[in-house]
A and B are shown apart, each in its own frame.
Chain A
């Protein structure tokens, strides 16, 4: 104990004992102070006499506010004062409706309302100024890849992946795309501060763009429903952020060390609304945020420049927009800029790296089978993008969203593992991102007929049996189990979060309670709902586990076998790109269609 031992009288000025008072007593006992807990229903005179008789240093009164209670507490303080106690005894009041203003009005030395920590009461007893723990400072940015060495436990799969990844690296040699060329020019633009040179570079850049982007570089024209933000708007953002940042005291969602980090996704189209939602999510404990770009952005060659707002879903990627978001984040917030599916993959990773993103997202199989981009184009682009990710030391996740098209998990996982191996060979740190939801595959084949646990667990068991790599459950967890009812939706998210935590994964992406609602933008309130639900679920389970049935082990082996079979077929086929076209990693019957955006744009140098 650092301070002097104090004698504390704890008295409920109530007919019943207050649990808060008992908790404070325990905290004071542990801190080495002497405590006396009076029985309930003592009169003010009796409490004061007890304080005098025991020569206490501090009195802590608890009282649940009720009829005329303010007068009762005021009289108590008056009597204590007239009895000569107050010059040497400090008196604090605790209770549900107690606020510092009320404590001041009633004349107490301190007031402890709902949310008071035991530490706060101890600080009062010890006469220390209570310094509220700066939770923002306590929160640190977590590198979820840190503890993984990527060793393969399944050597057979490792061998197959080696073959395929080597083939991809060989395949892309001597090839380039407009996406890669733009990234190279953008890099030069970052390095130059010569206006004439920049003008020239912009011209070169525009030559590799689609017409709607060319128009911007020619005469500043933007596509419909997008516009540049005004300087007045940017100034307003600055003052808004200053105010909000000063007030940030973020909650912590995790209850135990092994609870995963929690990501949310934003992309309202308007950078300001995005920032407002991000700050709200940070305050309610989100550890990371994921930037969603518009779907047209993925299918358009080239990026605009400047601060741009967009009236539809997805927030436009420009260096300036990303910078706005980055500057709004708390230092501890993980930030991911997705690059996984479109024609701007290399440049997206470059911009993300330049602005200082922590994570990116790249997956050739999903991007070309479910994301609409030509398999060859994306393969060539992805290798360049992964190299940027490695250069900026930005881990990237490999998401298996093609599962949502109907591709079975084992095939999607085969694609994910190929890109993972490719990432490792190129010096990057990939993160496995299996879908953790009610996927179309199981709707058809029935693995979730009984419960949502077994098959999701099977996927994690399968991946963990193959290699030692970080797992981030996507995206969002519980997808297609949520309804428009926010209680059900939040509950479902929280249960999936608990399952993911029980399976000891490293990260999860959660939806808002508006996930299933398609009639309008997601509301801030709906974001708070699922964050609170997730926090509550982590608190509920602690180290306790969810136990899947034996089906999970059976299905895990089936998935591993399926992955092996799929990889073998790709190796046998010889070319990875060709395997994508042929449907070996997801067929048309399964809902996977090789994309057409950027077809025929790969050039040999």
Chain B
């Protein structure tokens, strides 16, 4: 994990508009996009496909409750 992402309190949301033909396609692209960006734990929070494409909000969790949060433990990163 990169240092910047360690500073994320819990999750990174990527919000964008995907040019695609269907919601199914949008879902596939969303997850693929997150994987390409290096988020292994990705989920789709919001998706709405109409006409030209889909409005999406895709989330990559960096920490889930109970994980070892680096921003919490690492003093150096916190200062």
Contacts and interface: CB of A to CB of B under 8 A. Distances in A.
Question: Do A and B actually bind?
Answer: yes
Given A280-B9, A523-B11, A524-B10, A310 B75 contact: no
Contacts of B11: 520-521, 523, 525
Interface string A481-509: 00111100000000000000000000000
A272 B59 contact: no
Interface stretch (B20-28, B30-38, B61-69): B61-69
A236 B74 CA distance: 8
A270 B65 CA distance: 5
A515 to B, nearest CB: 11
Interface residues of B, number: 25
A231 interface: no
Contacts of B6: none
Contacts of B69: 272-273, 276
Contacts of B73: 236
A225 to B, nearest CB: 8
Given A484-B46, A521-B10, A309 B78 contact: no
A130 interface: no
A520 B61 contact: yes
B66 A520 contact: no
A273 B68 CA distance: 10
B45 interface: yes
Given A520-B11, A523-B10, A524-B10, A269 B66 contact: yes
Interface string A263-303: 00000111011001100100000000000000000000000
Contacts of A311: 65-66
Contacts of A309: 66
A311 B13 CA distance: 22
Contacts of B72: 236-237, 240, 272, 276
Interface in B47-70: 47-48, 55, 57, 59, 61, 63-66, 69
Nearest to A524: B9
A239 interface: yes
A540 interface: no
Contact of A483 (B46, B63, B75): B46
Contacts of B59: 519-520, 523
A514 interface: yes
Given A280-B9, A311-B65, A519 B57 contact: no
Task: Indicate the member of B15, B45, B65 with the most A CB atoms within 10 Å.
Answer: B65
B55 A485 contact: yes
Given A485-B55, A520-B61, A525-B11, A310 B66 contact: yes
Return the 4 tightest CB-CB contacts between A and B, nearest first. Answer: A484-B46, A268-B65, A270-B65, A523-B11
Interface of B: 9-11, 13, 15, 43-48, 55, 57, 59, 61, 63-66, 69, 72-73, 75, 78-79
Given A272-B72, A273-B65, 11 more contacts: A236-B72, A240-B72, A270-B66, A272-B69, A273-B10, A273-B63, A276-B9, A277-B9, A486-B46, A520-B11, A523-B9
Interface of A: 236-237, 239-240, 243, 268-270, 272-273, 276-277, 280, 309-311, 483-486, 514, 517, 519-521, 523-525
26 contacts: A240-B72, A243-B78, A243-B79, A270-B65, A270-B66, A273-B10, A273-B63, A273-B66, A276-B69, A277-B9, A311-B66, A484-B46, A484-B47, A485-B48, A485-B55, A486-B15, A486-B46, A519-B43, A519-B44, A520-B11, A520-B43, A520-B64, A521-B10, A521-B11, A523-B9, A523-B10
